[in-house]
Amino acid sequence: AVNLTNCKYDLLRIVQKKLGWKEVGDDDDWQLYWTDTSVSIERIMRLKSTQKINHFTGMLEICRKKQLAKNLGRMSALFPDEFAFAPKTFALPVELTEFLDQFRGKKKRTFILKPDAGCQGKGIALAQSAEQAMKALEDIGGEDG
């Protein structure tokens, strides 16, 4: 049985039905709990050995863009060769000045601006100038992109 109480995506219900799984609620016995939100450590600690959840404690450290950038930056500083694959990332607005300095050179570069909590491509903008970047940040919702 699968608990989809905190799932807003129709696709999961389509898959659940195709697999012949029974959808149940919080008070019922379930093997899979699919949620759109993070899960508390208390909920994870109460899991039975036969139960699984699609989220894990601490996952926002890699799922939120600012946290991922911060963690990749830390790892890049410690292990530069192993983390050379990670592009230079700026957490805005804290690193706004350093980010805008990237547009001062003659080489035209394209930067991808993403809202921290966005998903499925919502709110993504491309910028090739400081003016475009500032406009995109404004559109995203302030300088918190």
Mean pLDDT by 10 residues, the chain (145 residues): 95 96 95 90 91 88 86 93 90 90 89 80 89 88 51
Which tokens is 131 given? 């003016």
Which tokens is 5 given? 């109480």
Does the global pTM surpass 0.75? no
pLDDT at residue number 127: 94
Cβ contact 56:39 at 8 Å:
yes
Q: Name, in order, each residue with C-beta under 8 angstroms of 68's C-beta and a sequence gap of 6 or more.
A: 61, 62
